[in-house]
Amino acid sequence: MSKMVKLCSVDDVETDLPFPVEVDGYPPMAVYLIDGAFHVTSNTCTHGNAMLTDGFQEGDTIECPFHGGSFCIKTGAAKNLPCEEPLAVYKVQVDEGQVFVVV
CA angle 91, 31, 44 (to 5 degrees): 95
Taking the complex as a whole, how short is the minimal distance between the CB of residue 60 and ligand FES, in angstroms?
A: 17
Return the residue of 23, 50, 51, 88 that touches ligand FES, per CB under 6 A: 50
- 95 strand-pairing partners: 98
Task: Answer yes or no whether residue 13 interacts with ligand FES by CB under 6 A.
Answer: no
CA distances from 40 to 10, 87, 94 (A): 12, 10, 12
Cβ closest to ligand FES, residue 83 vs residue 89: 83
Site for ligand FES in 26-45 (CB under 6 A): 45
Whether the bond between 82 and the residue before it is cis, its omega within 30 degrees of 0, is yes
Q: Where along the sequence are the contacts to ligand FES (CB under 6 A)? A: 45, 47-48, 50, 64, 66-67, 69, 82-83
